[in-house]
Chain A
Amino acid sequence: MKKKITLTLVCLLLAGAVFAGGAQEEPAEAGGGSRVNAWGVELPADALPAEQQVLVLPSQSGKHMDLSGHFYEADKSGGGTFMFESMLYLDENSKVLPGAAESWEMDGDKWTFNLREDAVWSDGTPVTAQDFEFALKRALDPATGNNWVWYYSDIKNYSEVTGGEMAPEDLPVYAADDYTLVVETNGEVPYFDQIMAYPSSIPIPRHMYEKHGDAWATKAETCLSNGPWKLSKYTPGVEIELVPNELYNGQHKPYIERFIFKPGDGVSDFPAYQAGDVDALFADQDTTPISPANYRFVSKDPELSKELYAYPYFMTRYVFFDINVEPWDDIRVREAITRALDGQAMIDVIYDGLGQRAYGMLPPGFPGYEAGKNDVYQELDIPKAQKLLADAGYPGGKGFPKVELWVKTYEDALPKTAEMVQEMLKKNLGIAIEIRPVESKFFNSSFAEGAVDFGIQNWQYDYVDPSNFLNVWHPDLGRHDDWNNAEFNELVIKAQAWPDPEERIALYAEADSVLSSDYGAGFLYHSGQAQMWKPYIKGLSVDMLGNERVPYYFLGMHSLYKIAE
């Protein structure tokens, strides 16, 4: 009896706590409020007062804010890309805009960036060219152990410095004066401004680094920012809050004053969005904010579909073959596999139609892409595939060796793609393959060792130039040495330093065709991406093609503002 009474009391207490705790997190506002925010920007007429311009966003658990020295592990989606102003910026049309630098120019293999002279860190110290110089040299210093170092391979002497033969101080990146940074490149690199428009191309507050070492980027007190926002609360993986950096005086003053990030693994982000606990669903480049299943659910829902923003994305997914190993050394086998895979079906089934079939490495809209050019090599043709397989000695799939299809597991769509590949090969060619799902780390290390003969890979763009996609296939510049084609290698190297921009692009396009026709890969698809934004968030960017979204790394946040719900 006593137990039952206690039990009832406990239940009542719990219920009481629920309602007392309430469900609202934001305090109710008083009337009025300023129309001008912390940076002196006047808010649009329909915007809420400045104090209520707060966004709550989900984020993937990063580990620190050191985007320059350790880009991969940094809290990119947790505000890291908002706190720092990179040298330059890209807008939603991939046009280069001023950032920390107000002007820049290329002179042969030398780039000069002229910084704003009034730029300061959030503690008032000026942002100087030496800060940028320090950041870049540190990023390429082998002792830093930066996984992202390959991104700057266009800088002159990159190989010597990262190879340990040249001291980082001798890297040809230097401050001609306090506000002028000079970078020497490997020959002429016309897209280098895009390289400097990336979130990793930021300055580091040297005075903080000298005092605190690597720990500078892990605490709010020491992590200075030169961007519009600064850290007020930071426990990696637990809570992140950004507040206005009033000292920011750059070109891109925003409307939103504060950010609250909810770090996690993203598993329950979708219900959180539905409940209004977060204001948006979007992510950094490497993660899909909306799973394909949720995408389907949302696009069918009359209300939610209005909050969905889908857009094409520069990415390519493909199966690759190690041509040094049987049976992949036979080009007929590679072609047969390629022609038996229906990439369009994969887009329809997995992505609900968001994306398109791929015939080459370059995605549609990318410089060098020509619609229909590589179709003839890669398009679906099951009868031809069957004939090729028979010619190669495996009629109907008989006698085909056991092969394993390696696939990473960090994203749902990958194993699904693998399952579809498996089924298509079985149905169309009579080949039974096994799927080997592995975690990213293991996949990458095995792949680097050359232990993966057959697998699924993808590549997303970092900057808009064909070299970003095609260098991947060069054994020295990229990561694929399982396919090695002399003609391709020659084209890629030649194109790197080619002076005439149009001819240069044409060279890359040709290289892409070599890749497609020699079946270094069986290209599957270019999938799109999707974000979700609550209806009370306005100011999303619209690009030239009419796609509305918030470009993630780049200037997307600055035009957003909140209206009444």
Chain B
Amino acid sequence: MARNGKSYAEWKKERGFWQDALYRFKKNKLAVTGFYISVLLILITIFGPMVIPYQYSDQDYTLIGLGPSAAHPMGTDDLGRDVLSRVVYGGRISLSIGLLVQLASLLIGLPLGALAGYYGGKIDYIVTRLIDIMMAFPSLMFAIIIMVVVGPGYSNVLFSMVLVTWPTIARISRAQFLQLRESEFVVAARAVGATNRKIVFRHILPNIMGPVIVAVTLGIPTSIFREAGLSFLGIGVVPPTPSWGQMVGEYYLQVQTYWHISAFPALVLGLSILAFTFVGDGLQDALSPKNTK
């Protein structure tokens, strides 16, 4: 990397925080690998179903439980459906749930946490109480109760999972806002007479994006996992819709008869979780201002 004769410290200062972070991120091979895999998985799940000749729900009773072959690279399941197309379509479900849940939690949690952390007082009290209650007991149990009340289905899964996930983001957002509003440049900005709005958007937000992005990225595997748990219990998506968790949950006990029907979705599930985790960890390393190595 050409530095044009400048010292590292000077060079670093000139590039700015975000580019510096990018540089650090790229140095982390795991993170970069994770990134490419994540993108690849997302692309496959988006475009895959358009390319694969089989429909994920087409049953063919002459092809039951076949192992991997040329015609069906991941084999067929116990109703004669092509496992590859189900894994790819299931990826759409699992990944979209993971991403959308985090996105929605961000949109809800970030502003709520900000309000609580910045303004304090009564708003803080209410929001903190709310967060405490939502986090008071295992999210899975909460999600299960909600799913039992509203019934299974894709949108209900999204709903119940957002309900149990937004407190995590809100908590981080609030903690960051709490910390930063007392920081020097905020105090200075206020002394100069800047409006609250300006302070929040210009000074605080950019600085908290780091931990928030990390939380969101690391939250994706958690959400994918939770959806797998719900589908395993039979209260996730509705058949014949597949999701990785649903396929693993339905067939993991039959691993001695049909190892391929649960193995492939489990592997892909694991791969995506690994990928997102590496990216998240990499982002955490990169965006943490204390790392200078």
- From A348, A350, A418, contact of B239 by CB (8 A): A418
B270 within 8 A of partner (CB): no
B254 within 8 A of partner (CB): yes
Cα distance A33–B257 in the bound complex, in angstroms = 42
The smallest beta-carbon distance between B238 and chain A, in angstroms, is: 6
Residues of A with C-beta under 8 A to B250: 412
Residues of B with C-beta under 8 A to A188: none
The smallest beta-carbon distance between B85 and chain A, in angstroms, is: 14
- From A294, A436, A437, contact of B254 by CB (8 A): A294
The smallest beta-carbon distance between B80 and chain A, in angstroms, is: 7
Instruction: Check B254 against A420 for contact (C-beta < 8 Å).
Output: no
B79 within 8 A of partner (CB): yes
Type the 1/0 row for A434-468, where 1 means its CB is closer than 8 Å to any CB of B: 11111100000000000000000000000000000
- From A267, A349, A419, A438, contact of B64 by CB (8 A): A349
Cα distance A349–B152 in the bound complex, in angstroms = 26
B289 within 8 A of partner (CB): no
The smallest beta-carbon distance between A431 and chain B, in angstroms, is: 14
Instruction: Check A293 against B61 for contact (C-beta < 8 Å).
Output: no
A373 within 8 A of partner (CB): no
21 contacts between A and B (CB under 8 A): A291-B253, A291-B254, A293-B78, A293-B253, A293-B254, A293-B258, A294-B256, A294-B257, A297-B254, A297-B256, A349-B80, A416-B78, A419-B59, A419-B239, A420-B59, A420-B79, A422-B240, A423-B57, A438-B151, A439-B148, A439-B234
Give the contacts of A399-424 with B (CB-CB under 8 A): 409, 412, 415-416, 418-420, 422-423
Instruction: Check A296 against B59 for contact (C-beta < 8 Å).
Output: no
Type the 1/0 row for B257-276, where 1 means its CB is closer than 8 Å to any CB of A: 11000000000000000000
A345 within 8 A of partner (CB): yes
Which of A291, A293, A297, A422 has the most chain B CB within a 10 Å cutoff?
Answer: A293
Residues of B with C-beta under 8 A to A483: none
B65 within 8 A of partner (CB): yes
User: What are the 7 A-B residue pairs with the smallest beta carbon separation, nearest first?
Assistant: A293-B254, A297-B257, A293-B257, A423-B59, A409-B234, A435-B239, A419-B239
Give the contacts of A278-305 with B (CB-CB under 8 A): 291-294, 296-297
A314 within 8 A of partner (CB): no
Which A-chain residue is minimally distant from B256 (CB atoms)? A297
Instruction: Check A349 against B61 for contact (C-beta < 8 Å).
Output: yes
Type the 1/0 row for A108-132, where 1 means its CB is closer than 8 Å to any CB of B: 0000000000000000000000000
Which A-chain residue is minimally distant from B152 (CB atoms)? A437
Cα distance A294–B258 in the bound complex, in angstroms = 9
* Contacts A293-B254, A293-B257, A296-B65 given; does A349 touch B234 at CB 8 Å: no
Residues of B with C-beta under 8 A to A523: none
The smallest beta-carbon distance between A301 and chain B, in angstroms, is: 9
Cα distance A291–B78 in the bound complex, in angstroms = 12
Known: A297-B254, A349-B78. 9 other contacts (CB 8 A): A270-B253, A292-B78, A297-B256, A349-B61, A409-B234, A412-B250, A416-B79, A422-B240, A435-B239
Cα distance A435–B240 in the bound complex, in angstroms = 8
Residues of B with C-beta under 8 A to A291: 253-254
Residues of A with C-beta under 8 A to B80: 349
Residues of B with C-beta under 8 A to A345: 61
Residues of B with C-beta under 8 A to A416: 78-79
Give the contacts of B200-228 with A (CB-CB under 8 A): none
Residues of B with C-beta under 8 A to A420: 59, 79
Residues of A with C-beta under 8 A to B79: 349, 416, 419-420, 423
Place the interface of chain B in its size category.
20 to 34
Cα distance A112–B197 in the bound complex, in angstroms = 90
A residues near B (Cβ < 8 Å) are 267-268, 270, 291-294, 296-297, 345, 348-350, 409, 412, 415-416, 418-420, 422-423, 434-439
Cα distance A409–B232 in the bound complex, in angstroms = 12
Instruction: Check A437 against B239 for contact (C-beta < 8 Å).
Output: yes
The smallest beta-carbon distance between B270 and chain A, in angstroms, is: 22
Cα distance A415–B80 in the bound complex, in angstroms = 15
* Contacts A296-B65, A419-B79 given; does A435 touch B258 at CB 8 Å: no
Instruction: Check B239 against A415 for contact (C-beta < 8 Å).
Output: yes
The smallest beta-carbon distance between B265 and chain A, in angstroms, is: 16
Cα distance A438–B78 in the bound complex, in angstroms = 22
The smallest beta-carbon distance between B155 and chain A, in angstroms, is: 13
Residues of A with C-beta under 8 A to B152: 436-437
Residues of B with C-beta under 8 A to A296: 65, 257
Cα distance A438–B57 in the bound complex, in angstroms = 21
Cα distance A560–B283 in the bound complex, in angstroms = 65
Which A-chain residue is minimally distant from B241 (CB atoms)? A435
The smallest beta-carbon distance between B92 and chain A, in angstroms, is: 19
Cα distance A343–B135 in the bound complex, in angstroms = 48
Residues of A with C-beta under 8 A to B61: 345, 348-349
Residues of A with C-beta under 8 A to B148: 439
Cα distance A539–B231 in the bound complex, in angstroms = 43
Residues of B with C-beta under 8 A to A412: 250
Cα distance A418–B79 in the bound complex, in angstroms = 12
Residues of A with C-beta under 8 A to B57: 423
Residues of A with C-beta under 8 A to B256: 294, 297
* Contacts A293-B254, A296-B65, A348-B61 given; does A434 touch B238 at CB 8 Å: yes
The smallest beta-carbon distance between A296 and chain B, in angstroms, is: 5
Residues of B with C-beta under 8 A to A348: 61
Which B-chain residue is minimally distant from A349 (CB atoms)? B61
Which B-chain residue is minimally distant from A350 (CB atoms)? B78
The smallest beta-carbon distance between A427 and chain B, in angstroms, is: 8
Instruction: Check A435 against B238 for contact (C-beta < 8 Å).
Output: yes
Cα distance A436–B253 in the bound complex, in angstroms = 23
Cα distance A249–B47 in the bound complex, in angstroms = 74
Cα distance A268–B151 in the bound complex, in angstroms = 28
Residues of B with C-beta under 8 A to A437: 152, 234, 238-239
* Contacts A270-B253, A349-B79 given; does A436 touch B238 at CB 8 Å: yes
Cα distance A423–B148 in the bound complex, in angstroms = 26
Residues of B with C-beta under 8 A to A409: 234
Type the 1/0 row for B58-91, where 1 means its CB is closer than 8 Å to any CB of A: 1101001100000000000011100000000000
Residues of B with C-beta under 8 A to A267: 253
Which B-chain residue is minimally distant from A415 (CB atoms)? B239
The smallest beta-carbon distance between B169 and chain A, in angstroms, is: 32
Residues of A with C-beta under 8 A to B78: 292-293, 349-350, 416
The smallest beta-carbon distance between A386 and chain B, in angstroms, is: 19
The smallest beta-carbon distance between A198 and chain B, in angstroms, is: 31
Residues of A with C-beta under 8 A to B64: 349
Type the 1/0 row for B36-54, where 1 means its CB is closer than 8 Å to any CB of A: 0000000000000000000
The smallest beta-carbon distance between B103 and chain A, in angstroms, is: 27
The smallest beta-carbon distance between B137 and chain A, in angstroms, is: 22
- From A350, A419, A439, contact of B240 by CB (8 A): A419
The smallest beta-carbon distance between B153 and chain A, in angstroms, is: 9
Which A-chain residue is minimally distant from B59 (CB atoms)? A423
Residues of B with C-beta under 8 A to A418: 239
Cα distance A296–B151 in the bound complex, in angstroms = 33
Cα distance A437–B257 in the bound complex, in angstroms = 25
Type the 1/0 row for B96-132, where 1 means its CB is closer than 8 Å to any CB of A: 0000000000000000000000000000000000000
Cα distance A438–B238 in the bound complex, in angstroms = 10
Cα distance A419–B79 in the bound complex, in angstroms = 9
Cα distance A419–B256 in the bound complex, in angstroms = 23
Residues of B with C-beta under 8 A to A350: 78
Which B-chain residue is minimally distant from A435 (CB atoms)? B239
Residues of A with C-beta under 8 A to B238: 434-437
The smallest beta-carbon distance between B208 and chain A, in angstroms, is: 35
Cα distance A47–B259 in the bound complex, in angstroms = 39
